[in-house]
Structure 1
Amino acid sequence: MSDNALSDLIKIPESHKQIENSPKGAFHKPQIEHNDGKLQEITKSVCPLVEISPNGNGAEAASAEVEYIESENLDDVEDPNTSLEILIAELESKDWVVVCGALNNVRRFSLFHKELLSDMLGNVVSLVVKSLKNPRSAVCKTAVMTSADIFKAYNDRIIDSLDPLLVQLLLKSSQDKRFVCEAAEKTLIAMTTWVSPVLLLPKLQTYLKHKNPRIRAKASMCFCRSVLRLGFDGVETYGIDKLIHVAALQLSDQLPESREAARTLLLELQSVHEKSQISSAATRSENQDQNSWEKFCQSNLSPLSAQSVLRVTSVAREGLATGP
């Protein structure tokens, strides 16, 4: 095939060029590899993804669709032992379609054969993190969905491998590609659902002071959800005095998501504090004022922070008292 004919085959239609320039970011740019080894970007919608593969006589279009399959729709692995033997090699493949297939197999193992994957979980998670960094959106989103199934299957066993995974999920949930962002947010919810808050909170606290405000916001929301899972006894054990410092700091954060998470957290801490006082009624009756929420805030926070916390919790309580 002549160079001119090949050029005609890969010419980008004007409609696609207009989509590529769209500011909404609703589309991503899959890449096609030509027989000269160079990559060129074309614009397609999220799915299907098309890869053009070369052969000795020129270029032929080969459709490679990547399905984003929900967990409940995944089938079991056909041959678990064989699939397990080649899983690492497939996750390390330079062929993005093979990597996506391998990631979906990790999901299948997590759902149907999680013990088979246990001994190599650390290596698998490292390769999932590598896929999360992949510039190709299909690989990235499939890795995000894989992370959610790993959290659900392995719970606290993931904690030793969590740090690099967590930072990537926070980054992906903060980016502009909406379909990746939404998947990452769902995965963060899965993380806070399936990993014990006592183990997760120290990991999250690191990112509450991150220089990127969007990452701080996502971390704040995760932190709040984890505290809510602690319950009354868990909050008292973890330390309500430590948690109120965290909430007060986030209350003045730049983004509204951080501030809203802080308000929710403060109301939970106020509720726990009041229940604690009721449970020790004898002591409370002797020294009621010293044990009030107001005194607690004033004794644990700076005057300015205490004032902000009390304003938020009093306004919220007044709103609950008056009703709709």
Structure 2
Amino acid sequence: MALRPIDNALPITAERPKKQAKISVPPPKEKPNFGVNDENNVPMPPPITADSSIDYIPSENLKPFPDPDLKIQGLVGGLESKDWLKVCESLNDARQLALFHSDILLPDLEKVMMVIAKAMKNPRSALCKTSIMASSDIFKAFGEKLLEPGISNVFDNLLLQLLLKASQDKKFVCEEADRTLKTMVESMSPLLLLHKLRAYVGHFNLRVRAKAAVSISNCVSKMDLEGMKEFGLAELIQTAANLLNDKLPEAREAARSIVISSYEALVENEEEKQEYWQSFCQSNLPAIHAQAIVKIVSS
């Protein structure tokens, strides 16, 4: 029997249940498990810093090799390694060879210096400092041989890198470069070195100018009057006059030191010295520069 529809009945619609929002919960971070034997977790070694693997050995603590001929055979290969720790180790070997077996190192000296200059550009401070220490020991061992025509161009590159490193902000690298520049001046003829350094007092980097000025000042302080005249006394005074207007106090102080050393060497007779000095400055400098130079010694 068919059912009759109910009049005026409202349609019944079933309400669909609302979907619950999905919440993604990130899995908890697992802490590295150092030194624990767990079959589900591969142990990781604790991190080490780069510098902790490097020993900065002072020159006085280095010792001769029992078999230097054997050590020299692998030196260049070690210096050219892609492993920076191996390069540091080989740089220390080069230091020992330079100080105690310089005759054995001499045939490879140019290659070694090229690697040292390259290592100074490396962003790793440990490698950079080790290379600076190596250059210091090479200066001590070979001195003026580094200024001879066959190797002079390599020395020029090394000198520029040292001036740049002495000018940077990393204190322990900067201090090591400063010490090495002093060692360089102590190990070489000041006259020969002045010809190399004078190119950098006009460098666009004001810190490089200042470091070059300090090295020039240290050279001049070692020279007698004959050495100054051979280099060019007028050129020394002109260099000092230009540096007196430099932005950095280090450069200006170096300029004053150059002036005083030149003045003290120029005339032995104290009564004639001031008059002769004034005449010399006026003859070789513009009036305003001459006045500034004369004022340094008169005060």
Q: Distance in 1 between matches of 2:239 and 2:75?
A: 41
1:60 and 2:45 matched:
yes
Q: Is the 2:238–2:285 Cα contact (8 Å) retained in structure 1?
A: yes
Q: Distance in 2 between matches of 1:202 and 1:238?
A: 8
**What's the secondary structure of 2:239's corresponding residue?**
helix
1:139 and 2:127 matched:
yes
Residues 298 and 116 (structure 1), Cα distance of their counterparts in 2 relative to 1, 3 Å cut: same
1:261 and 2:244 matched:
no
Q: Distance in 1 between matches of 2:193 and 2:53?
A: 36
Matches within 5 A, 1:151-300: 151-159=139-147, 160=152, 161-275=154-268, 278=269, 292-300=276-284
Aligned residues: 256
**What's the secondary structure of 2:216's corresponding residue?**
helix
Q: TM-score, normalised by structure 1?
A: 0.74
- Corresponding residue number in structure 2 for 1:42: none
Q: Which has the higher strand share?
A: 1
Residues 58 and 91 (structure 1), Cα distance of their counterparts in 2 relative to 1, 3 Å cut: farther
Residues 313 and 103 (structure 1), Cα distance of their counterparts in 2 relative to 1, 3 Å cut: same
Shift of 1:82: 1.8
Q: TM-score, normalised by structure 2?
A: 0.80
Q: Distance in 2 between matches of 1:305 and 1:135?
A: 42
1:94 and 2:69 matched:
no
- Corresponding residue number in structure 2 for 1:115: 103
Q: Distance in 2 between matches of 1:143 and 1:180?
A: 10
**What's the secondary structure of 1:209's corresponding residue?**
coil
> Structure 2 stretches of 5 or more lacking a match?
1-28, 35-41
Shift of 1:78: 3.8
Q: Which segments of structure 1 move beyond 6 Å, counting only runs of 4 or more?
A: none
1:68 maps to a residue whose letter is Y
CA displacement, residues 102-131 of structure 1 (integer Å, 9 cap, x when unaligned) = 000010001110010111111110001111
Identity %: 41
1:100 maps to a residue whose letter is C
Of 311, 315, 322, which aligns to 2:295?
A: 311
Q: Is the 2:33–2:43 Cα contact (8 Å) retained in structure 1?
A: no
2:78 maps to a residue whose letter is E
**What's the secondary structure of 2:45's corresponding residue?**
strand
Q: Which has the larger displacement, 246-255 or 227-236?
A: 227-236
Q: Distance in 2 between matches of 1:9 and 1:85?
A: 43
Q: Distance in 1 between matches of 2:43 and 2:160?
A: 42
Q: Distance in 1 between matches of 2:85 and 2:177?
A: 21
Q: Distance in 2 between matches of 1:236 and 1:66?
A: 46
Q: Distance in 2 between matches of 1:165 and 1:80?
A: 25
Q: Is the 2:32–2:43 Cα contact (8 Å) retained in structure 1?
A: no
Q: Distance in 2 between matches of 1:111 and 1:197?
A: 22
Q: Is the 2:79–2:87 Cα contact (8 Å) retained in structure 1?
A: yes
